[in-house]
Amino acid sequence: MQPTLQLVSDRGSTPEHNDQQRRRAHKTRKRRAVSAGSRALTREVRELADDERGAVTAEYAIVIMAR
């Protein structure tokens, strides 16, 4: 049986290790994108909610005047 040789880069990582690193980096980027998206959505919801302050009071006043 002949011994098998495995080529290793300067950094000492194997092709399998590089694949794992790529997958891990992809998951991290994806997670960060989702997190950034949820922060943006939360910010938009808060801005919309801020715009509606006093709307209930104004609607209540209109109902009272309509009677």
In a domain, 6, yes or no: no
- The secondary structure of 18-45 as a DSSP string is HHHHHHHHHHHHHHHHHHHHHHHHHHHH
* Residue 46: exposure state from Cβ atoms within 10 A (0-12, 13-18, ≥19): exposed
Given a cut of 60, whether residue 5 has pLDDT beyond it is yes
Give me the number of domains the chain comprises. Answer: 1
SS3 3: coil
Cα→Cα distances 25→1, 29, 53, Å: 38, 6, 43
In a domain, 8, yes or no: no
In a domain, 3, yes or no: no
In a domain, 59, yes or no: yes
- pLDDT of 17-28, one tens digit each? 778 888 888 888
Q: Structural domain of residue 59, as residue ranges?
A: 15-66
Q: Which residue has the higher pLDDT, 34 or 26?
A: 26
Does this model's pTM top 0.75? My answer is: no
In a domain, 50, yes or no: yes
In a domain, 25, yes or no: yes
In a domain, 20, yes or no: yes
